Chain A
Amino acid sequence: MKASRQRCYKSGVARLLLLEADRRLTGAPKCPRPARRSRMAIDIDSRAWYCHCEYMSQSVKDERLQIRVNPHEKRLLERAAEAAHLSVSAFVVAAAAERAESVLAERQVVALSPAAAEAFSAALNRPGEVNARLAVALKRKRGFRFVD
């Protein structure tokens, strides 16, 4: 039990360090910490500690990605990672994930798989209908009001 808790703590600290390094790299503001509680009560895996960041997620990193680079690219990555106070691996993952997110968010064409294309085409061919979930969501009471 104790060993397990210790592993959890170490893994949490490592993630916090990675997040802080990423924040410095991107110039993002510090995330507010949750109110201090007793040491034992701190939930190290709480989302509030890490913020929400796809490529720094709480999931275990057990997938491997191997890439080949030329010596110039390697040196460049090493220098940039050093400047950002990150390991080369963390730097490459953070930079690539940020770019991947941007590409997905700004796609000019969304390509569908055969199954998706077939389902979407079938939906296009049916008449319009009330979307019950959307209707419920739009009718939900708001916790604020518009002034203008």
Chain B
Amino acid sequence: MIELRRPTVLDLKAHDRDGFDSGAPELDDWLRRYAGQNRRRDTSATWVITDTADEVMAYVSISMTGIDRSAAPAALGRQSPDPVPALLLARLAVDRRVAGLGVGTSLVAHVLTTAVELNISAACRAVVVNALDLTARTWWERLGFAPFDPTDPDGLDLYLLTRDIEATLRAIH
């Protein structure tokens, strides 16, 4: 069975990104060229799962965002701040060598746990993701994410509420 290291923050010196190949050139390129820049500018953090030789096998980039629901009827928004603080799961990619083994799901699980911890120490009401396309949307829906607009079959913005994540993690552990 393939052995991998647990999710850790990308270390530009220790982690080898050169051979990363998810099949999506723009995502591979982002890891090589921009992940470090975004960390230095504090715009996003990149978490990776590597093999035992420290070669990146999967990565996810996350940042804080706000959900603007000012378009909602006023009566519905009284109990929460606007924008609602949330964690944005910006990019997720898995190397083709380990595709289908559950590596991406493990990385998402790590992000969801982070959101729960963040919600305790600060405030993070939801995890948000922008699916790349409708195929990707199906993948996210299988993980429990729901489209913001349930009436839009083509909507690619999805979310999971942090307290639902917390309830789920508590139930399965």
A residues whose Cβ falls under 8 Å from a Cβ of B? 22-23, 26-29, 31-32, 47-48, 51-54, 57, 98, 101, 104-125, 127-135, 137-148
A140 vs B100: C-alpha distance in the bound complex, in angstroms?
12
A10 vs B87: C-alpha distance in the bound complex, in angstroms?
44
The smallest beta-carbon distance between B67 and chain A, in angstroms, is 5
Q: Is the CB of A118 within 8 A of B76?
A: yes
Q: Is the CB of B2 within 8 A of A135?
A: no
Residue-wise interface mask of B (140-172) relative to A, using a CB-CB cutoff of 8 A (1 in contact, 0 not):
011110111111100101011101111111011
Q: Is the CB of A131 within 8 A of B144?
A: yes
B residues whose Cβ falls under 8 Å from a Cβ of A? 1-6, 19, 21-26, 28-29, 38, 43-44, 52, 61, 63-73, 76-77, 79-80, 83-84, 86, 88, 90-91, 96, 98, 100-103, 105-106, 109, 112, 125, 128, 130, 132-133, 141-144, 146-152, 155, 157, 159-161, 163-169, 171-172
Prevailing SS type, chain B contact patch: mixed
Q: Is the CB of A128 within 8 A of B163?
A: yes
Known contacts A145-B2, A146-B5; can you find 17 more A-B pairs with CB under 8 A?
Answer: A28-B28, A47-B23, A105-B91, A106-B63, A108-B64, A112-B68, A113-B71, A117-B68, A120-B148, A121-B72, A121-B77, A130-B164, A134-B112, A137-B105, A142-B102, A143-B100, A144-B3
The smallest beta-carbon distance between B97 and chain A, in angstroms, is 10
A118 vs B74: C-alpha distance in the bound complex, in angstroms?
9
A120 vs B158: C-alpha distance in the bound complex, in angstroms?
10
A109 vs B73: C-alpha distance in the bound complex, in angstroms?
19
- Which residues of chain A have C-beta atoms less than 8 A from B146's C-beta? 123
Which residue in chain B gives the minimum CB-CB distance to A97? B26
Q: Tell me which of B21, B69, B112 contacts A121 (CB under 8 A).
A: B69
Could you show 6 A-B contacts with beta carbons less than 8 Å apart? A52-B23, A52-B132, A115-B150, A143-B102, A146-B6, A148-B6
Which residue in chain A gives the minimum CB-CB distance to B8? A148
Q: Which of A22, A47, A118 has the largest count of B CB atoms less than 10 A from its CB?
A: A118
